[in-house]
Amino acid sequence: MATSLPVTAQHYLECGTEDCEKNCQFYCNHCHQPMCEQCRDEHQKSPDTKNHEVVPFLQRKRHLPVDKCKLHPTRNADILCNECNIPLCSKCTTMEEHFGHKFVDMEDIDAEKFAFCLEEISKIQEYFLPTSKELKTETVEDGREGKKIMDGIKNSIKAEAKPLKDLVDKVTSDKLEQANTIEKSLLTVLKQQEKTYDDYNKFLEKLLKEFHGYLPLSNFKVLLSAKFENSKIQSIPETTKPVPPVFTAGQFTYDEVSKLLGNIDVPNIKPDKRKIKPMATSSTQLKPTGKEMKQDKEKSDVKQTLSLSSSVTKVREYKVPGVKSVCHISLGKSGRLWASDERGNIVQTDLEGNLLQKIQNTGKVEGYHTVTLGGNLIYTDRKNKVINRIKQDNTIIEFIKTGDWTPLSIHSSHINGDILVGMIKGREAKVTRYNRTGEEIQNIQRKNKGQGLYSYPHYITENINSDICTSDSNKQAVVVVNKSGQHRFSYTGQGSKFSPYSICTDLLGHIIVCDGYFLKDNTVNTLDPDGHFLFLLFTPQKGIEHPCGLCVDDENNLHVGQDITNTVTVYKYLQ
């Protein structure tokens, strides 16, 4: 048996006492041994160990590696000198150079700094990183909004300029038409003057020919008898030289034109600082209502009194009509239960197994339905790539369209009503978060270094710490991310093969998942909130052979649906 339990690795939390295999809940800091409640009591009764410090397991001190003292090699360096900040053995503390110095046990220092690291990790994971990512998302949203605003301003500028441009085009057209008219008139006058000179030139050429005809000696008789009254040279016709028009350029400037259009003004206002939500403390949290305080107190009281039992007790068993097997279970209000099989049959029954309603769907061996905080059933339709909702009057409406992505699994948060959907597209897979109105608000697809988180997320649920827990059959793992989508851990089972199916969580944050590798040696694994394996809640030897569908009711009973039959068995597993 392991005597040192790592903080983050998966491990068996078994009692460290020889031949005891009960669930470990405590830890002796003196012996560095995990132990169950019974062994703790015996440990504290024994005269040799009654003064040992026994604490809850999560508050344990780690067993530090043995480091030999450099000055006294036969002794362990297990003390820290606060003044010199060096490890010492007990013999070193008597040396002159350490006279008057203060000494601290190395394990105490480690425990203090270990607790500090865990606290800082928790702060970063639960507050600083998610808050920073939300602020980054806000800046991206502001960028999109700013782009929309600037596009609107650009369109307004174009829209305002268009009438002015149209007016300029109209005035230009009118002035060009005016110039054409003046040009036509001018050319008509000049054409007439051209004709006048053409006619006069013809007259002169005719007269010139006539006079030339009198000059030869052979025509002297004609010349002597000629009378020149009709051959008198007419004066050259007078015409006026046209006065051309003059173009006077318009008088306008850039500023004058700019004034005709609107301006872009950046308000001289000091920008508001982005609101950073305070880290949750007792002084900053909103005061709960009386009802919430009562519910929280009741849950807290229950938490303080409940713990995992070393055995399970069968409460009742019933058959679910209308399904071949029970691959998934969703509990509704007033003792109503929804169950489904691998053929897409979804039925509603009471807790006695009486059929109340039946729906035909396209789902397979997947967690493809859930009940919302309002009590409505919503379920995935992988064929049409939508999520349907059943209203109170039993009418079915399309609630969310998932586009190119095929929805497989779905879960409605009991914390805030958000809807988590596991979906695939080709070789890609993701988990998408919608708010209760169906608006997409988050996509979770990759780790920090870009590797894909999921391959086939066919069952999904949420833990009390807002972790998203997904069964991925192709990756053969339970993949857990925090509310911000950061990968926390992946649980890969306790054997060589692991085939996770239905998954649920309880009031104490336990993660309960079915392992149905080829329907052979099916078991139900129980993990703590950090992914540490606790024990097998069910094995074939414990009386249930094919567990597949799981859910925990308001009375902290575990409902187990079987894959081969339509049987649901209810167990009490907390004490």
Choose among 355, 461, 481, 374: nearest CA to 410: 461
Report the C-alpha gap between 401 and 432 in whole angstroms. 12
Is the pLDDT at 177 greater than 90, yes or no? yes
pLDDT at 288: 43
For the entire predicted model, the pTM comes to 0.51
The whole-number average pLDDT for the span 272-299 is: 54
Q: Which of 193-202, 328-337, 479-488, 526-535 has the lowest mean pLDDT?
A: 328-337
Report the C-alpha gap between 129 and 123 in whole angstroms. 8
Residue 477 or 563, more confident = 477
pLDDT at 292: 45
The per-residue b/e assignment along 426-456, b for 16 or more CB within 10 angstroms, e otherwise, is: eeebbbbbbeeeeeeebebeeeeeeeebbbb
Choose among 312, 367, 309, 296: nearest CA to 338: 367
pLDDT at 405: 95
Helix (H, G, I), strand (E, B) or coil at 380: strand
Mean pLDDT, the chain, rounded, equals 83
Instruction: Write phi, then psi, for 328 (nearest 5 degrees).
Output: -155, 145
Report the C-alpha gap between 358 and 36 in whole angstroms. 46
pLDDT at 121: 83
Token pair 């998610």 in the structure block, residue: 130
Residue 274 or 453, more confident = 453
Q: Which residues touch 291 (CB under 8 Å, ≥6 apart)?
A: none
Report the C-alpha gap between 355 and 389 in whole angstroms. 20
For 160, the token pair is 């305002």
Q: Which residues touch 70 (CB under 8 Å, ≥6 apart)?
A: 77
Q: Which of 115-129, 154-168, 230-244, 305-319 has the lowest mean pLDDT?
A: 305-319
Report the C-alpha gap between 137 and 134 in whole angstroms. 5
- For residue 277, the 8-state DSSP code is P
For 44, the token pair is 């504290």
pLDDT at 293: 46
Q: What is the CA radius of gyration of the chain?
A: 47
pLDDT at 183: 93
Instruction: Write phi, then psi, for 535 (nearest 5 degrees).
Output: -170, 170
- For residue 374, the 8-state DSSP code is T
pLDDT-above-90 percentage for the chain: 25
3-state helix, strand, coil in the chain (%, to 5): 30, 30, 40
Is the pLDDT at 139 greater than 50, yes or no? yes
Sheet of strand 386-390: strand arrangement? 369-371, 377-381, 386-390, 396-401
The whole-number average pLDDT for the span 399-412 is: 94
287 — pLDDT class (breaks 50, 70, 90): very low
pLDDT at 303: 52
Is the pLDDT at 295 greater than 70, yes or no? no
CB 222 within 8 A of CB 214: yes
- The two counts, helices (H) then strands (E), for the chain are 6, 30
